[in-house]
Chain A
Amino acid sequence: MIIETRSLHKAYGKHTALRDVSIGVRPGTTLGIVGESGSGKSTVARLMAGLERPTSGEVLLDGVPLPKRGRALRAARRRLGFVFQDPYASLDPRFTLEQIVGEPLRAHGLWQDGGRDRVDELLRAVGMGGIDPRSRAGEFSGGQRQRLCVARAIATRPHLVICDEPTSALDVSVQAQILNLLLDLQESLGVSYVLISHDIDVVRRMSDDIVVMRSGEVRESGPCTEVLADPRDEYTRTLLDAMPGRRGQEIR
């Protein structure tokens, strides 16, 4: 497993956000996490990335417990990328493309080692090759900004990229471009993904394995095709049934 959680527990005060969550991502594959608001899917992502610490339980990255703090945690984060939901909120519009994409390289002391060339390479990889790296993020559309976020996420050649609703803030006609980009990068780089989404149809097409969460607990998990073809959990069925455009249809 690239990343694995063991009996992850997270409480905010009296509120339990996660209860006994044990999931894992196989190398080179995508794990889709679906659930509604309050299901804990984003909390799992934040704990996996070491952005927050679990109340109990642990996260194993490449088989080794994720350090809790300090230099060791920073070093481990080099092997993780993160793509957030809103590319307008997660990019400083005054930063140049080079500053944005080069930031993780600088943060991890990799800039001296051909940083500028690496930025060009990354911009090409996300389909923004012809664009001047000195242009500012604020000049670009939502789809292009999300491409920049993807370039930033893969800058340090991580084994795992966590994508938290990467297309929810984008226009419908642009979403497919970003999903294709993620699929292409997985094929060429062999990167693994955790894909968090409320859209089961997107998860179905993007993922090898799936986890269905509700109220901080894992309700069902397994290979995507099996779980969605024959859901055993009542809630998974409810969720599939509620997807607009398919209500009243039989779930097979």
Chain B
Amino acid sequence: MSAPVSIEGLTVAYGDQVSLHDVSLDVPAGTVLALVGESGSGKSTLAHAASRLLPPNARILGGTISVGGTDMAALTGHELRSARGSTVAYLPQDALAALNPVMRIGRQIAEVFTAANGRSDAAEMAVEMLRRVSIRDPGQVARKYPHQLSGGMRQRVMIAIALAHRPQLLIADEPTTALDVTVQAEVLELVAELQRDTGVTVIWITHDLSVVKEIADTVAVLYGGRVAEHCAADELFAAARHPYTLGLLGSFGGARTAAPKERFTAIPGSPPLRGGVPGCPFHPRCTRAEDRCRSEAPPLLGGVACHVVAREATGTGAGETGMTA
């Protein structure tokens, strides 16, 4: 089931508002990519585009989303219907909203099997899936309704449904954000374990860098609809380069070692609303911004999209900034 995922030049717009600009990302087969971003970053747009669950007012203007050789962006009709779920499965943040409140848990999972191939043993398969997501007494839970389960249990049910399709790519859209920390820890552990067992490739969306540390092999930081930084997870924590990433790490990074009442390193301003900023989307909040940053969006070079970092790396124009080195 392991499949490499390659997103190339993906551009998505809502009406005439472009919310994802020319995004390219690679996820090696069987690994976990964490997609980090805050509101307006385009992280949910990317998740919905890759699982082909965009709302009707959104359009994919260009680019490809290759999952094990299938271009999700190009599929239509019957092919698209069968690829949803089986090629790419989507795990939502709000399990309670995603589950049918008046249908028993077992039947909601069994639907996956009956819809796919009309299996007569779908009910037993559903119970087996509940067992695989470490639900104790799966036979009994299968007979319950969503409201009778805790938040953590409901999210386990959603994971069971997503994995019942035996997908090549699992897109997890902040599935632990609404959960308590102790439950979140259990769910993260479960997904990591299932990922190892099944070899499914995972894109995990989050706004929380500490979650990245837990589960990701690689990471992509989105800001204002563009990739700011894309690298190995270890590398991000050891040697992040983009000023935005550094700002995020700096705000809360030293939380455990800081003195009481020591001020946090804040990034001024707020994230941009969808679209609208010419040049680098981070320039209005960036302390290192130069003229070029205000007019020209930086390309992603060597895993980082920043004019200043690129110039320093190649050493051109060193006369200007050589003093600070």
Contacts and interface: CB of A to CB of B under 8 A. Distances in A.
Contacts of B263: 180, 183-184
Given A180-B264, A247-B185, A173 B271 contact: yes
Contacts of A142: 39, 270
B256 interface: yes
The 3 closest A-B pairs by CB, nearest first: A245-B210, A176-B264, A201-B255
Contacts of B39: 142, 171
Interface stretch (B23-31, B62-70, B176-184): B176-184
Pick from A173, A177, A186, A201 the residue with the most CB of B within 10 Å.
A173
A242 interface: yes
Interface residues of B, number: 36
Contact of B213 (A36, A207, A245): A245
A238 B260 CA distance: 23
A208 B260 contact: yes
B180 A173 contact: no
Interface stretch (B103-111, B127-135, B244-252): B244-252
B94 interface: no
Interface of A: 36-37, 141-144, 171-177, 179-180, 183-184, 186, 198, 201-202, 204-208, 224-225, 238-239, 241-247
A244 B251 contact: no
B247 A244 contact: no
Contacts of A184: 263
19 contacts: A36-B180, A36-B183, A37-B180, A171-B39, A172-B208, A172-B251, A173-B251, A176-B265, A177-B268, A179-B264, A180-B263, A184-B263, A198-B180, A205-B255, A205-B258, A205-B264, A206-B261, A239-B182, A242-B181
Nearest to A228: B256
Nearest to B264: A176
Nearest to B206: A244
Interface in B266-281: 266-268, 270-271
B247 A173 contact: yes
A244 B264 contact: no
A208 B259 CA distance: 11
Nearest to A141: B270
Given A37-B180, A244-B214, 5 more contacts: A36-B180, A171-B38, A172-B207, A173-B271, A205-B258
Contact of B248 (A141, A143, A172): A172
B79 interface: no
B167 to A, nearest CB: 25
A160 B248 CA distance: 30
A186 B266 CA distance: 18
Nearest to A249: B256
B188 interface: yes
A246 B251 CA distance: 17
Interface string B34-60: 000011000000000000000000000
A225 B188 CA distance: 29
A244 B185 contact: yes
B280 to A, nearest CB: 15
B89 to A, nearest CB: 23
B260 A244 contact: no
B184 A242 contact: yes
Given A243-B210, A245-B213, A204 B256 contact: yes
A206 B209 CA distance: 20
Contacts of A225: 260
Given A242-B181, A242-B184, A172 B38 contact: yes
